[in-house]
Structure 1
Amino acid sequence: MEGVNPLLNADLHCHSTVSDGTLEPEALAARAKANGVELWALTDHDELGGQHRAMAAARAQELPYLTGVEISVTFAGTTVHIVGLGMDPDDKALLEGLRATRGGREQRAREMAEGLAQVGIKDAFEGALRYVGNPDLISRSHFARHLVDSGVCKDIPEVFRKYLTEGRPGFVPHRWAALGDAVRWITGSGGIAVIAHPGRYKFTPTEEYALFTEFKQHGGQAVEVVTGAHSQAEYAKYAGFCTEFGLAASRGSDFHSPDESHTDLGKLPDLPGSVTPVWALLAERVH
């Protein structure tokens, strides 16, 4: 792998059945390789249980691999995701931090099901569980799949629009890790922290500036510039943030499922030429 090639087809954000994806880590590795990915990372939500499987599968495909995770944090009352790349997947402090972060998911899921029951959608918790690869990581995505397959909604966006966003009957907020804790868990285990898909958060300009400022102060080093959730204008905007805050740029599809994801593994545009790719900082961490 050319460690500093900005045009490398790197896909450093995707999910398996270990969190809320629909493919096993091995299938993701095969799909990444078939789609021309040249550097891959599996970044399951708040969970490292798929890392050794993904690493072995990537090795079998002769696909360069970076360890990864996506940690949920609460910032300014909003859930923000911080991707970690190149960490030690067996680091005790990181594992313990993720375990604590996962702890509230089941209670939150039961409260979501109670809210749905009040509008006539019964047994949603049990229905969502049928879609869960890891019961510790039950999420809104699992509820959404259940509501589509049971005929309540025609597709995933309709579920979120009607039932699972703020102000809707199935929405329950959850307090995740603190931003500083997540960044320290990642950097303390040898990795680099990345702000995931910043264009998705509905922050005011002041709140967004505060997020980047605090992230940098805590030791964060990169931001996803090119991702499935971003527009062309946002590629340019966050490339500018890289310059302003001295951050490297990451690239990842946020792929979850062949049937649900707008962007497939390996199908993103190149990073803008003005940025330093995050893999330039991680060459020694590639497996």
Structure 2
Amino acid sequence: MTFPLNADLHCHSTVSDGTLTPEALAERAKANGVDLWALTDHDEVGGQQRAMDAARTQGLRYLTGVEISVTFADVTVHIVGLGFDHTDPRLAEGLADTRDGRGPRAIEMGEQLAKVGIHGAYEGALKYVGNPRLISRTHFARFLVESGVCRDTPEVFRKYLTEGKPGYVPHRWAKLGDAVKWITGSGGLAVIAHPARYKFTPNEEYALFSEFKQHGGQGVEVVTGSHSAAEAVRYADMAREFGLAASRGSDFHSPDESHVDLGKLPPLPADLTPVWSLLAERVH
């Protein structure tokens, strides 16, 4: 599968912090002309069998997926895994360890928000959680918008949920090497997700890409919902420099929140190696 195709290899369902079920996402992907799809819920593979079954029902080709949170240079970085064995026990154990800190962190976020007069935020966020073990800042943001504290999700993050703001509580995630090992050890391919979002210095970014590749990482998201056209050009250059395959994914969470719909991204630059060309045998 090296020919151009509409691949969307990054999105989220109600199993993590999306608002649509795996089945509804598969239907939406099919309606939007997606040829190859992956569901990449945060630190969780519990929706993979449902997604595979739904893709089969829709006549979609499918790659297993996950988005793992790691801490690198004191920043939370996301690593997407594609084409792995979703039943691998080592992967499941690693993801479970990564998830464990979300609950206590969320309780502390609620306490911090209460100190600035926003009461009941933890309980409110829980109403938006499909999987309580995966409560996240996104669920708090939805509550703060629905309760009228902020106009939209970006305002919530600007005022309350980023570093230095009253609702921000850091969490130390998995190590970069561990996340890559879990993915590759279960037969998959590791991808740096939306690299422009991390705001690293050039030296820090070079270190991220270098260490990622040393651990066995093979891909980077070049075209993604949060990248501008200029950023896509920049990370196409990084893919060439580091010899990485290029991935493409909308990072779709919700029809009401996401900047880009499933399957509605520009194509990858023609000279890059698409990740799916390295995963042809892993497609369902």
Tell me the TM-score normalised to structure 2 length.
1.00
Matched, 1:48 2:45: yes
Letter in 1 for 2:5: L
Answer whether contact 1:82 1:196 (CA < 8 A) is retained.
yes
Q: Write the distance in 2 (CA, Å) between the matches of 1:135 and 1:117.
A: 20
Cα offset, 1:123, TM superposition: 1.0
**Equivalent residue for 1:244, pick from 241, 244, 248:** 241
Q: Which residue pairs with 2:27 in the alignment?
A: 30
Q: Which residue pairs with 1:158 in the alignment?
A: 155
**Equivalent residue for 2:78, pick from 67, 78, 81:** 81
Matched, 1:127 2:124: yes
1:255-270 mapped onto 2 (5 Å cutoff): 255-270=252-267
Cα offset, 1:234, TM superposition: 1.1
Q: Which residue pairs with 1:193 in the alignment?
A: 190
Letter in 2 for 1:97: G
Cα offset, 1:235, TM superposition: 1.1
Q: Write the distance in 2 (CA, Å) between the matches of 1:21 and 1:243.
A: 32
Q: Write the distance in 2 (CA, Å) between the matches of 1:178 and 1:12.
A: 23
Q: Is the partner of 2:262 in helix, strand or coil?
A: coil
Cα offset, 1:250, TM superposition: 0.1
1:78-117 mapped onto 2 (5 Å cutoff): 78-117=75-114
Q: Is the partner of 2:259 in helix, strand or coil?
A: coil
Residue ranges of structure 1 left out of the alignment (5+ in a row):
none
Cα offset, 1:236, TM superposition: 1.1
Tell me the TM-score normalised to structure 1 length.
0.98
Q: Which residue pairs with 1:57 in the alignment?
A: 54
Letter in 1 for 2:191: V
Q: Which residue pairs with 1:182 in the alignment?
A: 179
Q: Which residue pairs with 1:136 in the alignment?
A: 133
Q: Which residue pairs with 1:145 in the alignment?
A: 142
Matched, 1:170 2:201: no
Answer whether contact 1:235 1:272 (CA < 8 A) is retained.
no
Q: Write the distance in 2 (CA, Å) between the matches of 1:24 and 1:31.
A: 11
Q: Is the partner of 1:236 in helix, strand or coil?
A: helix
Q: Is the partner of 1:131 in helix, strand or coil?
A: coil
Residue ranges of structure 2 left out of the alignment (5+ in a row):
none
Q: Write the distance in 1 (CA, Å) between the matches of 2:6 and 2:37.
A: 9
Q: Which residue pairs with 1:215 in the alignment?
A: 212
What do residues 93-134 of structure 1 show as CA deviations (whole Å, max 9, x unaligned)? 000000000000000001100110000000111000000000
Superposition RMSD in Å: 0.4
Q: Is the partner of 1:234 in helix, strand or coil?
A: helix
Number of equivalences: 284
Letter in 2 for 1:220: G
Q: Write the distance in 2 (CA, Å) between the matches of 1:28 and 1:68.
A: 14
Cα offset, 1:52, TM superposition: 0.1
Q: Which residue pairs with 2:2 in the alignment?
A: 4
**Equivalent residue for 2:14, pick from 13, 17, 21:** 17
Letter in 2 for 1:280: S
Answer whether contact 1:105 1:138 (CA < 8 A) is retained.
yes
What do residues 45-92 of structure 1 show as CA deviations (whole Å, max 9, x unaligned)? 000000000000000000000000000000000000000000100000
Q: Write the distance in 2 (CA, Å) between the matches of 1:160 and 1:55.
A: 33
Letter in 2 for 1:234: E
What do residues 139-195 of structure 1 show as CA deviations (whole Å, max 9, x unaligned)? 000000001111111111111111001110000000000000000000000000000
Letter in 2 for 1:46: D
Runs of 4+ in 1 over 4 A off after TM superposition: none
**Equivalent residue for 2:271, pick from 265, 268, 274:** 274
Q: Write the distance in 1 (CA, Å) between the matches of 2:240 and 2:151.
A: 42
